[in-house]
Amino acid sequence: MHRQTLLRQFYDQYLHLVHITERTIELEPLKLKQLAEAASFPSLSLNITAIHVVDCIGRFEPVNGTALAALMRLSKAAITKICTRLTNDGLIARSQLPQNKKEYLFSLTDQGKALYELHEQLHQQAEKEFMQYLEEWSSEDLTTILRFVQHLGNVLEQRIHEGEGEA
């Protein structure tokens, strides 16, 4: 195959992968909602970021807003807004340290822990399916693919960093 044709096909597949990845991410809250309904969990209308804030708090609790913002790569203002909503929804609890009235620590409520566990189940299932798919590839192929994906990830992170510097 001609190299330019191969490069064009590769780029077209890359764009396709970006689009289907976006769609997959959009579906995560819907899948979580289905799991929650099957487990008789109260109805929720959370976006993917709020779900991942619950996940992050579950992994690092108790965690303060500054650390949460850094872990999630979000602004402190965005974390404050999301955590206020999650507190109002009864998924997280906010507490203050006696020695620092400005700092809040976030932890999961029982309902938040249940959501965290459902989300973890969703990710474990996705990982299992992904690992089964990878079993089809030879170790040599996987090594090459891994090098490519790592390099592509570095290039995309650099583009994001450069774009954030311009904003």
pLDDT single digits (tens) 58-106 = 999 999 999 999 999 888 999 999 999 999 989 999 998 778 777 889 9
Q: In sequence order, which residues have a C-beta less than 8 Å from that of residue 41 and are 6 or more positions away?
A: 35, 111, 114, 115, 118
The beta strands (E) that lie in the chain are given as 63-64, 92-97, 100-108
Judged against a pLDDT cut of 90, whether residue 112 lies above it is answered with: yes
> Terminus-to-terminus CA distance in the chain, angstroms?
41
Sheet holding 100-108, edge to edge: 63-64, 100-108, 92-97
Q: Is 87 exposed, middle or buried (0-12, 13-18, 19+ CB in 10 A)?
A: middle
Contacts 24+ apart (CB under 8 A), 26-31: 28/122, 31/122
Task: Judge if pTM exceeds 0.85.
Answer: no
The beta strands (E) that lie in 53-120 are given as 63-64, 92-97, 100-108
pLDDT at position 167 is 57
Judged against a pLDDT cut of 70, whether residue 43 lies above it is answered with: no
Q: Which of 6, 55, 64 is closest to 32 using CA atoms?
A: 55
Strand 100-108 and strand 92-97: the pairing is: antiparallel
Percent of the chain scored above 70 by pLDDT?
Answer: 96
Bigger pLDDT: 39 or 21?
21
Instruction: Tell me if the domain spanning 3-127 has CATH number 1.10.10.10.
Output: yes
pLDDT at position 69 is 94
CB atoms within 10 A of CB 81: 13
Q: Which of 35, 13, 21 is closest to 119 using CA atoms?
A: 35
Distance (Å, rounded) from C-alpha 1 to C-alpha 19? Answer: 26
Distance (Å, rounded) from C-alpha 29 to C-alpha 134? Answer: 25
Judged against a pLDDT cut of 80, whether residue 133 lies above it is answered with: yes
Each domain of the chain, given as residue ranges in start order, spans 3-127, 137-167
